[in-house]
Amino acid sequence: CLCLLLTVTTFFEFVFSPFQFFLQQLRENIRESRAADLLKQDDEVNVKLENAAIERSKSVDSAVLGKYNLWRKENENENSDSTVRLMRDQIIMARVYISIANMKNKYDLAQELQNRLKESQRALGEVTTDADLPHSAPEKIKTMGQLLSKIRGQLFDCKVVTGKLRAMLQSADEQVRSSKKQSTFLSQLAAKTIPNGVHCLSMRLTIDYYLLPPDKRKFPKSENLENPKLYHYALFSDNVLAASVVVNSTITNAKEPEKHVFHLVTDKLNFGAMNMWFLLNPPGKATIHVENVDEFKWLNSLYCPVLRQLESSAMKEYYFKADHSTAGSSNLKYRNPKYLSMLNHLRFYLPQVYPKLDKILFLDDDIVVQKDLTGLWSVDLHGKVNGAVETCGESFHRFDKYLNFSNPHIARNFDPNACGWAYGMNFFDLEEWKKKDITGIYHKWQNMVSYSKPHFPSQLCRNFLMCHYISITFWGDTGKFISWEITN
């Protein structure tokens, strides 16, 4: 060992001149002295340094720095997280130096850092505020700080550390994007999935309905169904409880409930449950009638273009396949298979469904009525087909947000800055509808989507959902209600 030491000393003396060797040793002594002083600092010295740092920070005229400075005592509060953030920073730097130590074969340093890292992670856990940290946290911070200070002198390389931090940032960014996609999917799943209790309720209601004798399955006052002097509502839904909320909230706020007639249409799966619910819970003095959309024989693929689209393999693949690039993206809400149901397209055939009515108020099943709606029947639409409440902000429900204006057909017929409207409540003049052949206009745009794909990019075709069809079909024939008392 002595020979080795002499050899190393001789080597340095050979490589460096005596003066250079002296400077090298002086630097080493100064570095060791500073490290020793830092380790020996008592609480009084720490307080002095902190106060000095506070005074220097006050001279910086910056609201942002003043707000987020970790060292200012006046910014401390019971929910402070400065210590938590310090521990997180130490954990990040520990991971960086572990990687560098392994890269430079400094396995003993890497192992020591790994042990301290695990201790800090256990102390931090899922804590978000300083008040929730364990009592051992300050000691863990001090130990980790001393170790990082020692290792920094041996391993720090600005370029390498920057590269490692950049790689960690990129990885964290990818994790955030993945988590956002997962959150979007799960929120849609939670919103659209039928709870077990509701599913069981529908099954029980269906069984009870078909156990009734045929003469007990009919609703009273069927003579009101085609009386144009009454207030008629159209509600298309497969959700029993949601439909019940709409009907009951409307009747509760009606001044003359006996003059209100509700026309419900559902699918064959929920037909029995919907009937049984309102047989057991009739809407007071109002009239109600439930129909099955699958029994509308005139509604077939020969007459209705959307049925031809819904039967296509491409459309089914779009809604049911998960192995495509857009799965989990921001347009996930538009991929709900409920849009394959004709209940979502039946609103374009109101004159065919109710040929003897002059006016009808269409309600979605996600609203709650808060006042009497009969005033809508006295509103002058000035020859327009549709009356609705406009909902338009700087970037909400404007046509340019969901229509492709690079398409000449769209650009020629629509204003990109025009506003859409709330689809939860639409008042229709069916006489004007028939005069202007609104259903024919709807078929025209449907056929353009079906047969003119070079003119309609695939993304437009895919996102041509109900709100888009409504905006296009009734563009120019919609009057504005200033406001109305309904909530979604």
SS3 476: coil
Residue 147 counted as domain residue = no
> What is the percent of the chain with per-residue pLDDT over 90, rounded to a whole number?
23
pLDDT-based confidence at residue 401 (cuts at 50, 70, 90): low
Spatial distance between the Cα atoms of 456 and 332, rounded to a whole number of angstroms:
20
Spatial distance between the Cα atoms of 370 and 487, rounded to a whole number of angstroms:
8
pLDDT-based confidence at residue 126 (cuts at 50, 70, 90): confident
pLDDT at 260: 96
> Which tokens belong to 397?
């429900």
> CATH number, domain at 203?
3.90.550
Q: Which of 10-19, 38-47, 112-121 has the lowest mean pLDDT?
A: 10-19
* pLDDT (mean) for 111-137: 86
SS3 266: strand
The answer to whether 445 and 460 are in contact (CB under 8 A) is: no
The answer to whether 202 and 273 are in contact (CB under 8 A) is: yes
| Cα–Cα nearest to 405, from 352, 457, 340, 328 | 457
Convert the pLDDT of each residue in 287-332 to its tens digit: 999 999 989 988 888 888 877 776 666 665 555 554 554 444 445 5
Convert the pLDDT of each residue in 19-71 to its tens digit: 666 777 777 777 777 666 665 555 566 667 667 766 766 555 444 444 444 44
Q: Which of 55-69, 79-93, 130-144, 162-176 has the lowest mean pLDDT?
A: 55-69
Residue 151 pLDDT more than 70? yes
Spatial distance between the Cα atoms of 230 and 238, rounded to a whole number of angstroms:
25
The answer to whether 388 and 426 are in contact (CB under 8 A) is: yes
pLDDT at 223: 93
pLDDT at 70: 44
Q: Is the dihedral of CA 410, 414, 419, 420 positive or negative?
A: negative
Residue 268 counted as domain residue = yes
β-pairing verdict for 287-292 and 260-266 = parallel
Convert the pLDDT of each residue in 177-198 to its tens digit: 888 877 776 776 666 666 667 7
* pLDDT (mean) for 335-346: 71
Convert the pLDDT of each residue in 438-481 to its tens digit: 888 888 877 776 544 433 333 333 333 333 444 444 444 454 54
pLDDT at 301: 80
pLDDT at 271: 94
Q: Which of 18-27, 87-96, 104-113, 447-456 has the lowest mean pLDDT?
A: 447-456
Residue 359 pLDDT more than 90? yes
Residue 281 counted as domain residue = yes
Report the chain's terminal Cα–Cα distance, integer Å. Answer: 84
pLDDT at 19: 66
- pTM over 0.75? The answer is no
Residue 211 counted as domain residue = yes
Spatial distance between the Cα atoms of 322 and 326, rounded to a whole number of angstroms:
9
Backbone angles phi, psi at 362, to 5 degrees: -90, 130
Q: Which residue has the higher pLDDT, 438 or 235?
A: 235
Mean pLDDT, all residues of the chain = 76
Q: Which of 3-7, 162-166, 362-366, 464-468 has the lowest mean pLDDT?
A: 464-468
Convert the pLDDT of each residue in 289-301 to its tens digit: 999 998 998 888 8
> H or E element: which one contains 323?
none
Across 74-78, 133-137, 159-163, 268-272, the highest mean pLDDT is recorded for 268-272
* pLDDT (mean) for 365-375: 91
> What is the residue-wise DSSP string for 81-110?
-HHHHHHHHHHHHHHHHHHHHHHTT-HHHH
pLDDT-based confidence at residue 4 (cuts at 50, 70, 90): very low
Residue 220 pLDDT more than 80? yes
B/e letters for 221-230, b = 16+ CB within 10 Å, e = fewer, are: eeebbeeeeb
* pLDDT (mean) for 112-117: 88
B/e letters for 455-472, b = 16+ CB within 10 Å, e = fewer, are: ebeeebbbbbbbebbbbb
Total domains in the chain come to 2
Residue 337 counted as domain residue = yes
The answer to whether 432 and 381 are in contact (CB under 8 A) is: yes
Residue 213 counted as domain residue = yes
> What is the percent of the chain with per-residue pLDDT over 70, rounded to a whole number?
66
pLDDT at 402: 63
The 3-state secondary structure of the chain reads: CHHHHHHHHHHHHHHCCHHHHHHHHHHHHHHHHHHHHHHHCCHHHHHHHHHHHHHHHHCCCCHHHHHHCCCCHHHCCCCCCHHHHHHHHHHHHHHHHHHHHHHCCCHHHHHHHHHHHHHHHHHHCCCCCHHHCCCCHHHHHHHHHHHHHHHHHHHCCHHHHHHHHHHHHHHHHHHHHHHHHHHHHHHHHHHHCCCHHHHHHHHHHHHHHHHCCHHHCCCCCHHHHHCCCCEEEEEECCCHHHHHHHHHHHHHHCCCHHHEEEEEEECCCCHHHHHHHHHHCCCCCCEEEEEEHHHCCCCCCCCCHHHHHHCCHHHHHHHHCCCCCCCCCHHHHHHCHHHHCHHHCHHHHHHHHCCCCCEEEEECCCCEECCCCHHHHHCCCCCCCEEEEECCCCCCCEHHHCCCCCCHHHHHHCCCCCECEEEEEEEEEHHHHHHHCHHHHHHHHHHHHHHCCCCCCHHHHHCCCHHHHHHHHCCCCEEEECCCCEEC
Domain membership of residue 279 as a residue range: 199-487
Residue 172 pLDDT more than 80? yes
Residue 182 counted as domain residue = no
Residue 328 counted as domain residue = yes
pLDDT at 482: 42
Convert the pLDDT of each residue in 402-435 to its tens digit: 666 777 777 777 777 777 676 788 899 999 999 9
* pLDDT (mean) for 254-282: 94
> Which tokens belong to 480?
């504005």
pLDDT at 240: 93
pLDDT at 332: 53
Across 129-133, 334-338, 441-445, the highest mean pLDDT is recorded for 129-133
